[in-house]
Amino acid sequence: MANRRHDCMESYDTTDVAIIGAGPAGAAAAAWLARRGLRVRVIERSRFPRFSIGESLLPQCMVHLEACGLLEAAQAGGFQPKNGAAFTWRGRDTAIDFRDKFSPGPGATWQVERADFDQRLIEGARQAGAVVEFDTRVEAFVADAKRPSLTLVGPNGERRSLRAQFVLDASGYGRVLARLADLAQPSTLESRCALFTHVEDRIDCPKHDREKILIGLHPTHPGIWYWLIPFQRGRASLGVVGDRATLEAAGADDGERLWHFVHAEPRLAGLLTNAAAIRDIGCLEGYSADVRRLHGPGFALLGNAGEFLDPVFSSGVTIALDSALRAVPLVERQLAGDIVDWDQEFEQPLRRGVATFREFVDAWYDGRLPRIIFNEQQTPRIRAMISSVLAGYAWDENNPFVAASRRRLNSLAEACGGDATPAISEVG
């Protein structure tokens, strides 16, 4: 009888915390929890290293990487330093320097090739004691306040059950629990499409600042904008964002469309005269997403697995890491027997910062924020407040552009005027 009972117990795996996804949110949560002595199992459907966009970090990320013990692992990658964002439109250039900001905290970060960056983070989590299973997908989920469970499918198609005391979904664009727990709801943001690639950029312009992401606005076409993210060793990430119909009208395939728009922006066209693509053109469409709630019985959603806004201000990894570092101490407390109010202690404060980013995204697309950015007549203090949000400090309620984002952006945009400044939803 004892042997049969033992066999029954061995028919499924158990862990304290199961984490779906080995990207930055999953790695940060796993490293933090494992260092606290909890048994952690990370389930990742891909094989690492693997490509991902979201390559331009924000300085707020450095605070979170240090908090979960992964900063040293990331530093070993020797990634391209980043200290701000440069903007270009119709030959006009300006920049936001994150070191000149209102909020306390780091003013610099990195621009990273995510395959290497994510690999280093998850290896750091593994070294901290987390168990990581690659090439394994989650097929089913049963929510339970005490013992949630996952049905896993391994690389050879074998199925097994994993029972945990808590589940964190860090599956990113896979949005596993949003799908399996029927939590998804439409985003309030318009559906857009991003075309992107990596290039050997071969930029020889001495004025080009590789320590800043370059964001360009199409000179005449509404709603089209670009990113150029320099990496080390002369490489860069290049992308164009707009509505799918406008992009499709520019060429027979995504490669032709991407380069058509790049050649239409004077500064990018000049910088990338000798550039050569080193990977196939990627396409990500309809990426903005939301969920009805970010937690439930025995689970919580982190980063893009819950809500994703837009790539324009590189907020994705920042929100992912912030959500992870908000969730893990609550998980530890709950497993220790405390009563945790996940709505008050996790969802509401997390969503306040996301709402700040959303206000800035909305202001970008309706033209208020470009008007502000290209007008350099603000006082240094106001410029520093804007810089803080764009540096990722979207939870700093001491910043008036966090505490009252919409009102402050409206007032400042009106004060900046609009006759000679871009409104990307109106130009043409």
| pLDDT at 376 (0 to 100) | 80
Averaged pLDDT, 195-221: 96
Q: What percent of the chain is modeled with pLDDT above 70?
A: 95
Q: Is there a single domain that holds both residue 268 and residue 207?
A: yes
Tell me if 89 sits within 8 A of 374, measured CB to CB. yes
The whole-chain average pLDDT of the chain stands at 93
Map tokens 């520093």 to a residue: 384
Q: Is there a single domain that holds both residue 164 and residue 125?
A: yes
Q: Quote the Cα angle for 200-201-203, to 5°.
A: 140
In a domain, 427, yes or no: no
Two tokens, residue 104? 């306390």
Q: What percent of the chain is modeled with pLDDT above 90?
A: 88
Residue 2 has pLDDT above 50, yes or no: no
Give the contacts of 324 (CB within 8 A, at least 6 positions apart): 24, 25, 26, 28, 29, 32, 64, 68, 168, 170, 302, 303
Residue 327 has pLDDT above 70, yes or no: yes
| pLDDT at 218 (0 to 100) | 95
Strands 225-230 and 235-242, by their bridges, are antiparallel
- Of 307, 326, 352, which residue constitutes the final position of a domain? 352
| pLDDT at 214 (0 to 100) | 98
Count Cβ atoms below 10 Å from residue 83 Cβ, excluding itself. Answer: 19
Count Cβ atoms below 10 Å from residue 404 Cβ, excluding itself. Answer: 14
d(CA 344, CA 259): 47
Q: How many CA within 13 A on the CB side of residue 61?
A: 33
In a domain, 97, yes or no: no
Question: Among the residues of 254-379, which ranges form H helices?
Answer: 254-264, 266-271, 316-335, 342, 348-365, 368-373
Q: Is there a single domain that holds both residue 41 and residue 120?
A: yes
If phi over 0 gives left and psi between -120 and 50 gives alpha, with beta otherwise, what is residue 380?
alpha
The pLDDT tens digits for 66-82 are 999 999 999 999 999 99
Q: Is there a single domain that holds both residue 116 and residue 183?
A: yes
Residue 4 has pLDDT above 70, yes or no: no
What CATH number should be reported for the domain holding residue 136?
A: 3.50.50.60
In one letter, which amino acid is 31? A
The pLDDT tens digits for 217-242 are 999 987 899 999 999 999 999 999 99
Q: How confident is the model at residue 417 (pLDDT cuts 50, 70, 90)?
A: confident
| pLDDT at 423 (0 to 100) | 46
Residue 5 has pLDDT above 90, yes or no: no
Q: How confident is the model at residue 302 (pLDDT cuts 50, 70, 90)?
A: very high
In a domain, 103, yes or no: no
- Of 255, 285, 315, which residue constitutes the final position of a domain? 285
By mean pLDDT, which of 26-30, 118-122, 407-411, 423-427 is the weakest?
Answer: 423-427
Q: Is there a single domain that holds both residue 45 and residue 179?
A: yes
In a domain, 34, yes or no: yes
Q: How confident is the model at residue 307 (pLDDT cuts 50, 70, 90)?
A: confident
How many domains does the structure of the chain reveal?
Answer: 3
Q: Is there a single domain that holds both residue 65 and residue 165?
A: yes
State the Rg of the chain over Cα.
22
Find how far residue 280's CA is from the centre of its chain. 22
- Of 285, 303, 318, which residue constitutes the final position of a domain? 285
Q: Is there a single domain that holds both residue 59 and residue 161?
A: yes
Residue 406 has pLDDT above 50, yes or no: yes
| pLDDT at 427 (0 to 100) | 31
Q: Is there a single domain that holds both residue 67 and residue 127?
A: yes
By mean pLDDT, which of 67-71, 285-289, 358-362, 396-400 is the weakest?
Answer: 285-289
DSSP code, position 155: T
| pLDDT at 283 (0 to 100) | 95
Give the contacts of 25 (CB within 8 A, at least 6 positions apart): 170, 172, 302, 303, 304, 305, 320, 321, 323, 324
Q: Strand, coil or helix: what is 196?
A: strand
d(CA 369, CA 427): 14
The pLDDT tens digits for 100-159 are 999 999 999 999 999 999 999 999 999 999 999 999 999 999 999 999 999 999 999 999
Q: Is there a single domain that holds both residue 239 and residue 384?
A: no
Averaged pLDDT, 376-404: 96
DSSP code, position 346: I
What CATH number should be reported for the domain holding residue 202?
A: 3.30.9.100
Tell me if 252 sits within 8 A of 259, measured CB to CB. no
In a domain, 86, yes or no: no
Residue 325 has pLDDT above 60, yes or no: yes
In a domain, 169, yes or no: yes
Residue from 129, 114, 106 nearest 77 by CA: 114
Q: Is there a single domain that holds both residue 46 and residue 154?
A: yes
In a domain, 339, yes or no: yes
Q: How confident is the model at residue 268 (pLDDT cuts 50, 70, 90)?
A: very high
- Contacts from 265-268 at CB under 8 Å and sequence distance 24+? 265/88, 265/216, 265/217, 265/218, 265/219, 265/226, 266/90, 266/91, 266/219, 267/88, 267/91, 267/93, 267/214, 267/216, 268/88, 268/214, 268/216, 268/226, 268/228
In a domain, 421, yes or no: no
Averaged pLDDT, 417-421: 56
Parent domain of 35:
13-78+109-187+289-352
| pLDDT at 418 (0 to 100) | 59
Residue 422 has pLDDT above 80, yes or no: no
The pLDDT tens digits for 15-24 are 999 999 999 9
Q: Is there a single domain that holds both residue 202 and residue 306?
A: no
Q: Is there a single domain that holds both residue 384 and residue 246?
A: no
